[in-house]
Structure 1
């Protein structure tokens, strides 16, 4: 048998190979362990970064909640510092600044934060936290420092609200048509149906300004924003604003409708430039947005507020047409017993104070469109004869009527008194309806001021309103100026966002206009009793002569005398009825601005009626008159007009009789002012007068949030 021997030298390579494999495996294991330790180190680094970010986030939020803790130089905030160091034990480096944040500013600045200058009011806090990271396993002498940045902002309470009288309410099937009718513009064949979709569209002032090409600096104060908006007077045309509204509201299809709408407005106001001021620079509104009230930190809140697009569009039209008179109508009116138009009435209407939308905090106001109507009642061709005889009536009656205006002021916001937890805002409303002024007014100056009509230039200058004369002799005249009180109201509403409330007392248009016309008639008739310059005898003789000549010459004298005296009785009874209808509502309108002695004049009318009655009873006994003497009959009429003195007033029967016939001449044109001019204009929207519609469009309360 052969024996095989295996030498040691043959086993060494295998053993060496196995040892090498083990070394490699150990090395790989070691590398794996080192890698794992490295991953732990990296994880620790990321944890340190995350922890530092948490510190920055919480510190910025704490600082934004306590903006009053910002230093005078706005380079620190004690609340943010305390949160980081005391509450979170941060021992690294902190850089804290107070300033403002704007989403628009992120274009050139990633965090959108702008540090405020010393003394400025901040709305945001920026915290930059950094710290060194100690190596976990000491494989390296140092790890990179970690740094984190956070910006938190505190939005100020801000509300967006509007107020509309019934003339500019956003109710009904065609709200824009109602608005246009309220300011005297008849849309005619222009289709306005498409605009109804804007009633549910909301846009931001920031978006509107951007579309209009208005650059808003990132670090802007409230006063600076108001100034910026008000400075756009001659830059923005109504066409630009209307198109910008529909584009931002994603209603581009309405741009073609805007062309037709603008054409209609141009035709109504006389093809003149229509410019829109975007802001208001004072307490009197003049632009699309009322003055913003609030700290500088509320600027961004105002710019990003949600505003109703249809309300913006209507308001823009009101701003653009402010001061431009729109001819309402021109009427030729006929007097009783005449077939020729002897009195001319012209009228015009205009927005004298534009509507505005309120955006801001407590104290912010919004205004309705204050609309004024101008009326001019005149007798052309130097007047006409009263009673068909020698007495001439020259009438010049310029009237300005402030139809309706109202102001809404934000008195509190972000209350939760409803029990539902929903934030609310309280808005106080002050309104004024139907203030009338009579005096030295013209169409040119009637629309020249936003103040009430008694502040129109020359409104307090006496004007000769009418004159009764024979030749160059003045029998009676009234030269004066006066104003009636407006019907005012004060109320307050509390609303949640999106809610609308109606304030004020609903006034029946017919009754309100009738009271206004009655007040005007009473003021003219009763006020003239103290301003006549005619002698009683001359007035009585001329009136008696004209009355006699008016009677049919074919009748016997007794009949003619009876007809003349009955005319005096009829006109005096009408005067008595007018004065007797001075109700408390009319008295409230007249107030103390017109000096009246209605009671005394009523006594004088009663005295005249008694005298005429006694004369009528004695007609048969006047043999000279009944025998055929016209002069004797005229003397009988004159005697009835010359008697008197037993009334409670101071006027002669002759003057009271003449005033009665003047009332007959004025009654129809003054009534036509109400029925043919005022009532149609006030009824054009189909709504009641005296109501104010307040709408809280949006409400933003305190809300601290991280924005970067």
Structure 2
């Protein structure tokens, strides 16, 4: 019965040993889990440090190019890591290098390239305590290191397409009071003395981004959501949320953006106040330009692409305000009093297309401000020198439209490999047209395309006896010294500007050249009979006869007046002799002095006025006139005699207008043969990690 007792005593410690072994294993596994988690967190923090250091370095490097200054890349990375408490020493290291990113087997892989590598690679390492398992093993005599080195690698580059902010020929806002836009502002009742704030150093240094401007105007949409929109979608959103921006509101927002400088903000507010008391108080500006309408900013991307980093482009606040003012005066014609030549010529000058600031990658375009001249020659304001034209109530009205040089700049390249990135812009300057005719109602100061015959309406050029005698329209290119268009290419760094090659407009020659077009229009528009021969109708001849009979008392006075008026074409008489039309008419009335029997005088005069010259020959003056007008030798001499003083009256007026307009443009600072290009800022992309 007692033999089993020793076996029971021998088995009592088996469970305790198994429990102890299990407990030790559990503790070891717990230590392993805790230590693995600790090492994971250490590695994770180390990777975050490498990522932020790489992003900081590539962001601060000029042009986002590591190879331009490898030492500076290291400095920026170290500064960033130190800001997070990672200081080199005591087992901690940080190093940076320049790499190029290549595609290997479809994957992006960094390759060391100190000479040309644009991307930054940052390597961080840290010596941390080894695992608890190793330390526990040392208690049992197992050897192993008491620390382990962790390492993290990050590669960052500016991966988005570079973009540029630039403008083309936006120099109309000459702060001189004689400048075009200041004159337009003055005409609208604004005090232009406040414009000097636009040229102040404070506004020149004040920077804003399109995203910041949108937020300041009340577009309460996240920046990332805005960046995901296409230019068209963004324009639609802005139209919905903000609409057209009042010029005074734009000034107020600008003042708020510079409120850290109280003096500058006060000057900007003063400018807003003077605009608020002028005719421009209700003027509005589209913030974003589209293909169909002008606006302050023109954002460009590839087809269907989002605006992305274009919303982060830097703009000078002064440029935004200046462009806004030019947009506000669009559609306003300025009557230039100094060119009101003898009361017969009135000249207006205005902006029909404001400039836009182009923002985007290669392929972005921007246009200059398009200006237009309207010259109105009207003889109703001045008596004509010809007694015949005055007798017949003849009036000359010549509406001339001059579309001045337009320029387009296209961004063709951005070089971010240089210490200062550069943008290459191809500029195309096109000389406009000079036209005679009428623009459709309201289109004179709002249609930006150059005038052509297809866009014009016929104008009444010559009126006779209170009726239209000649109507027509014409369009011819302006005369310039160079080719049309002129193409030039400029390469500029940030904040640089340059002027394209000069293509001087010959305004005087161009206006004078219109005389041939006027002659053509008169020739084409002259009234003709059923056979196609130029002649006045019998009704018109009757009215002319009645004018002479009502003005002069007898046939002698009428004959003398007709000779003075040049109605002296040759007529045949007996014995192979010839006479003139007034003498022939006078001789038919031997017994009638036109004081009593006026009916016979009237009938004979109507008939004589419609006669042709003897043998179809005209005087040398009328022969030359018929030729210049493109009319045949069968032209009615009465018609030619009326048209001759019309052209004589136009010649000196057109010559005077040509020289006067040239002087006007010079005084307004519009050097139309030049196009100025300015690069406001260049962005070489946004920093991104290479995964």
TM-score, normalisation: structure 1: 0.60
What residue is the counterpart of 1:695 in the other structure? Answer: 678
Query: In the TM superposition, what is the alpha-carbon distance from 1:529 to its structure 2 partner?
Result: 0.9
Could you say what secondary structure the match of 2:504 adopts?
A: coil
Post-superposition CA distance 1:443-477 (Å, at most 9, x none):
5232343333339xx8344x2422343577x7xx3
Instruction: Write the distance in 1 (CA, Å) between the matches of 2:287 and 2:313.
Output: 15
What residue is the counterpart of 2:193 in the other structure? Answer: 190
Contact 1:52 1:146 in 2 (8 A): no
Out of 217, 224, 245, which is 2:222 matched to?
217
Instruction: Write the distance in 1 (CA, Å) between the matches of 2:252 and 2:322.
Output: 13
What residue is the counterpart of 2:234 in the other structure? Answer: 228
Instruction: Write the distance in 2 (CA, Å) between the matches of 1:176 and 1:156.
Output: 42
Instruction: Write the distance in 1 (CA, Å) between the matches of 2:379 and 2:564.
Output: 28
What residue is the counterpart of 1:204 in the other structure? Answer: 208
Instruction: Write the distance in 2 (CA, Å) between the matches of 1:333 and 1:386.
Output: 24
Could you say what secondary structure the match of 1:293 adopts?
A: coil
Contact 1:179 1:685 in 2 (8 A): yes
Say yes or no: does 1:658 pair with 2:646: no
Query: In the TM superposition, what is the alpha-carbon distance from 1:362 to its structure 2 partner?
Result: 0.4
Post-superposition CA distance 1:553-593 (Å, at most 9, x none):
9x99999898655x99xxxxxxxxxxxxxxxxxxxxxxxxx
Query: In the TM superposition, what is the alpha-carbon distance from 1:492 to its structure 2 partner?
Result: 1.7
Instruction: Write the distance in 2 (CA, Å) between the matches of 1:658 and 1:259.
Output: 61
Contact 2:369 2:406 in 1 (8 A): yes
Structure 2 counterparts to residues 455-494 of structure 1, below 5 A: 459-461=455-457, 463-470=458-465, 477-486=469-478, 488-494=485-491
Query: In the TM superposition, what is the alpha-carbon distance from 1:211 to its structure 2 partner?
Result: 3.2
Could you say what secondary structure the match of 1:287 adopts?
A: coil
Instruction: Write the distance in 2 (CA, Å) between the matches of 1:363 and 1:322.
Output: 27
Query: In the TM superposition, what is the alpha-carbon distance from 1:377 to its structure 2 partner?
Result: 4.5
Out of 482, 494, 497, which is 2:494 matched to?
497
Query: In the TM superposition, what is the alpha-carbon distance from 1:694 to its structure 2 partner?
Result: 0.4
Instruction: Write the distance in 1 (CA, Å) between the matches of 2:151 and 2:304.
Output: 31
Instruction: Write the distance in 1 (CA, Å) between the matches of 2:416 and 2:245.
Output: 37
Contact 2:124 2:151 in 1 (8 A): yes
Which runs of 5 or more residues in structure 1 are unaligned? 1-40, 72-76, 88-122, 336-340, 569-607, 613-618
Contact 1:184 1:326 in 2 (8 A): no
Query: In the TM superposition, what is the alpha-carbon distance from 1:699 to its structure 2 partner?
Result: 1.9
Could you say what secondary structure the match of 1:661 adopts?
A: helix
Say yes or no: does 1:161 pair with 2:157: no
What residue is the counterpart of 1:523 in the other structure? Answer: 517
Instruction: Write the distance in 1 (CA, Å) between the matches of 2:588 and 2:306.
Output: 87
Q: How many residues align?
A: 548
Cα pair distance change 1:194/1:320, threshold 3 Å: closer
Query: In the TM superposition, what is the alpha-carbon distance from 1:352 to its structure 2 partner?
Result: 2.7
Structure 2 counterparts to residues 435-584 of structure 1, below 5 A: 435-442=433-440, 444-454=442-452, 459-461=455-457, 463-470=458-465, 477-486=469-478, 488-507=485-504, 511-512=506-507, 514-533=508-527, 536=535
Instruction: Write the distance in 1 (CA, Å) between the matches of 2:406 and 2:161.
Output: 30
Could you say what secondary structure the match of 2:486 adopts?
A: strand
Could you say what secondary structure the match of 1:313 adopts?
A: helix
Out of 643, 647, 662, which is 2:617 matched to?
643
What residue is the counterpart of 2:361 in the other structure? Answer: 361
Query: In the TM superposition, what is the alpha-carbon distance from 1:409 to its structure 2 partner?
Result: 0.8
Instruction: Write the distance in 2 (CA, Å) between the matches of 1:55 and 1:327.
Output: 62
Instruction: Write the distance in 2 (CA, Å) between the matches of 1:383 and 1:561.
Output: 19
Post-superposition CA distance 1:354-403 (Å, at most 9, x none):
21111111011112222234444456699989635542324454443323
Instruction: Write the distance in 2 (CA, Å) between the matches of 1:239 and 1:530.
Output: 51
Instruction: Write the distance in 1 (CA, Å) between the matches of 2:123 and 2:304.
Output: 21
Query: In the TM superposition, what is the alpha-carbon distance from 1:491 to its structure 2 partner?
Result: 1.9
What residue is the counterpart of 2:410 in the other structure? Answer: 409
Query: In the TM superposition, what is the alpha-carbon distance from 1:218 to its structure 2 partner?
Result: 3.6
Contact 2:168 2:367 in 1 (8 A): yes
Out of 131, 134, 141, which is 1:135 matched to?
131
Could you say what secondary structure the match of 1:446 adopts?
A: coil
Instruction: Write the distance in 2 (CA, Å) between the matches of 1:484 and 1:184.
Output: 31
Could you say what secondary structure the match of 2:219 adopts?
A: coil
Contact 2:299 2:310 in 1 (8 A): no
Q: Which moved more, 1:225-234 or 1:310-319?
A: 225-234
Instruction: Write the distance in 2 (CA, Å) between the matches of 1:261 and 1:143.
Output: 69
Cα pair distance change 1:382/1:680, threshold 3 Å: closer
Instruction: Write the distance in 2 (CA, Å) between the matches of 1:289 and 1:53.
Output: 38
Instruction: Write the distance in 1 (CA, Å) between the matches of 2:276 and 2:379.
Output: 32
What residue is the counterpart of 1:248 in the other structure? Answer: 257
Query: In the TM superposition, what is the alpha-carbon distance from 1:661 to its structure 2 partner?
Result: 0.5
Instruction: Write the distance in 2 (CA, Å) between the matches of 1:177 and 1:124.
Output: 53
Cα pair distance change 1:620/1:242, threshold 3 Å: same
The CA RMSD measured in Å over matched residues stands at 5.9
Contact 1:181 1:684 in 2 (8 A): no
Contact 1:294 1:360 in 2 (8 A): no
Instruction: Write the distance in 2 (CA, Å) between the matches of 1:557 and 1:308.
Output: 75
Contact 1:371 1:403 in 2 (8 A): yes
Say yes or no: does 1:372 pair with 2:353: no
Cα pair distance change 1:137/1:405, threshold 3 Å: same
Contact 1:351 1:372 in 2 (8 A): yes
Cα pair distance change 1:126/1:528, threshold 3 Å: farther
TM-score, normalisation: structure 2: 0.61
Could you say what secondary structure the match of 1:278 adopts?
A: coil
Instruction: Write the distance in 2 (CA, Å) between the matches of 1:128 and 1:224.
Output: 39
Which runs of 5 or more residues in structure 2 are unaligned? 1-35, 59-95, 113-118, 138-145, 479-483, 529-533, 572-576, 591-604
Say yes or no: does 1:305 pair with 2:319: no
